[in-house]
Structure 1
Amino acid sequence: MEFRYYQDVQKFAEKAEPVLSKGEDVYSLFFGVLQAIKAGRYDNPFMATIEEEGQVLALFQMTPPHPLNLIFTDNNRLEECMDLLIRNLLELEIELNSIISLKPWAYLFSEKWKVNTGKTHQLMMDQGLYRLDKINETLEHSPGSWRFADTEDCPLIEKWFNLFEEDAGLPQTVGEDVKKRVASFVAEQEVFLWEHEGNVVSMMKKSRPTDHGVTVSLVFTPKKERKKGYARTMVAAGTNELLKKYDFCMLYTDLMNPTANKIYQEVGYKRIADSVQLGFSMK
């Protein structure tokens, strides 16, 4: 069993993508971020595997300051792989503030990380992972219509981007970074808007496309427009448009938000896994 650290993303992708393709829905976050690394959108990514006799037993990926993503392919070797990973993280002096993974893997890692470092975990996000292959055609839609965002919408999307972060309990992205990111989103036609009587009332974003799927993210409706069905209608319409190109759509939900989970299930999304993001600190 060998831990391998990669600096060449193409060589890492050769090892990772056959594994990811077998679980393209559950591993959509890892797969999508890998495509972004290949496209040069992240600096200094951490990429590693655990391999034995040509078989990939585990995959690891981190794009600081984002969490370390963990995937294990053989539950019979899980603890061995976890111990080997932790030894190498410590030897390489990798700065690790948080991880994201399927729940059983994440909590086992956190137990072992505490033993080795004294750092305890805090739950940052408790997430349900949902997949949709076909829209619920019986869904009642709110009035209005969808369109792609254009450059004139950027100031509103920038404001909503920060409000979304506030609602989700995420660190606030600073102004110039928000402007750059939103400008890129709009230029790539990644932002969908729901408009009613000339007013934009809800939005969603296309994220992390993989070979056959794509993720829906950044679903936001301002407080004054909530409880009118706009978010549900926006997600339904946007998802339906994405299904013209992709076989399925994915999204992550906050399991502590029953309203959001209900909305997505009404659209046709089905929960296929649970994921958590855990942060680490000394007591």
Structure 2
Amino acid sequence: MFTRLDPNDAAIGAGTSFFSDEVQYNLIHLISESNDSLCLKTFDGKMIFAQTPGHNGWLWISREVAKVERKSMIEELAIHLKGVSLPGISSEPEITAMFAEVFSNRNGIPFYSDMTLEAYHCPKVIKPVNVTGKLQKATQQNVVVIAEYLAGFLNDALGTKVEPNTQLDKAKTMVDAGGLYHWMVDDQPVSMANISHRSPRHARINTVYTPDEHRKKGYASALVAELCCIIETEKLVPMLYADIKNPTSNKVYQNIGFLKKGKIAEIKFSTSS
């Protein structure tokens, strides 16, 4: 029933069933590019599973598949994943719930809801006006500040408290990757955002963070809008995911032209006794 999903596979190309859901499931493109990932598709291309080791699996099922058939396909997938370490699953809410129930019952593992994300794309950016400052690509000179911002981002996004010095290596890696930018005011960084990945038709923005003392001044809006303009020059469409529990960030994105393209519910499987 299953075969390997390759990078730029025909099953996730333009004109396929997947194409209409591509923004919502954009991370599948990134996962498929990893050499150590587990990426599967059904022979008819109506179901795709993609997982990087140690992370949630992403599961897409075509809207053309009836609910009863979806359940049968999920049961087949759960059997196929026997012995695979699966921390959790990410998909649209109905599929997530269906898979969680099947996988939990088959393996005797409880599960819990983690978060729900809203997927957005920006067909046409709306630049905010009268925002002080300018865009600047991050450099290694900013690594200490970036590490502080990454620690703040983890605390805001996941409730995970870490010391900034634990983020120095990640900060250096992000700078070297070339997608990290700051909004600068008086030659000082006041906000950060990252163009993290480019798929065939989209570029994904993540790690958008502004420290408390610089918020509500339009810096993040201006920064993300400028990144959208960069992406547009590459003939790609900007996209991102936002936690639905953060109304402020969702409003910021909508105000600069981002449109909703579907929810992704994330659950975790608990291995604790």
TM-score (norm 1): 0.85
Q: Which runs of 5+ in 1 are unaligned?
A: none
1:203 is the counterpart of 2:203: no
| Rounded Cα–Cα distance in structure 2 between residues aligned with 1:48 and 1:238 | 32
Q: CA distance change for structure 1 residues 66 and 177 in 2, over 3 Å: closer, same or farther?
A: farther
* CA shift for structure 1 position 173: 7.7
| Rounded Cα–Cα distance in structure 1 between residues aligned with 2:147 and 2:254 | 28
Q: CA distance change for structure 1 residues 171 and 96 in 2, over 3 Å: closer, same or farther?
A: farther
| Rounded Cα–Cα distance in structure 2 between residues aligned with 1:81 and 1:180 | 41
What are the within-5 Å matches in structure 2 for residues 130-149 of structure 1?
A: 130-137=120-127, 139-149=128-138
Contact 2:59 2:89 in 1 (8 A): yes
Q: CA distance change for structure 1 residues 34 and 174 in 2, over 3 Å: closer, same or farther?
A: farther
Offset from partner CA, 1:255-282 (integer Å, 9 cap, x none): 0111111111001101110111111126
What are the within-5 Å matches in structure 2 for residues 171-210 of structure 1?
A: 178-210=167-199
| Rounded Cα–Cα distance in structure 1 between residues aligned with 2:20 and 2:249 | 28
Offset from partner CA, 1:218-258 (integer Å, 9 cap, x none): 00001111122211111112212221113311111110111
Contact 1:28 1:208 in 2 (8 A): no
Contact 1:100 1:277 in 2 (8 A): yes
What are the within-5 Å matches in structure 2 for residues 21-40 of structure 1?
A: 21=19, 23-35=21-33, 37=34
AA matched with 2:9: E
Aligned to 2:249, the other structure's residue is in SS state helix
2:12 pairs, out of 17, 23, 31, with 17
Q: CA distance change for structure 1 residues 185 and 14 in 2, over 3 Å: closer, same or farther?
A: same
AA matched with 1:45: S
| Rounded Cα–Cα distance in structure 2 between residues aligned with 1:206 and 1:167 | 19
Judge which range, 195-204 or 112-121, deviates more: 112-121
AA matched with 1:3: F
AA matched with 1:157: I
Q: Give me the identity figure in percent.
A: 22
Matched positions, count: 266
Q: CA distance change for structure 1 residues 104 and 132 in 2, over 3 Å: closer, same or farther?
A: same
2:57 pairs, out of 57, 64, 68, with 68
Report the aligned-residue RMSD.
2.3
Q: Which runs of 5+ in 2 are unaligned?
A: none
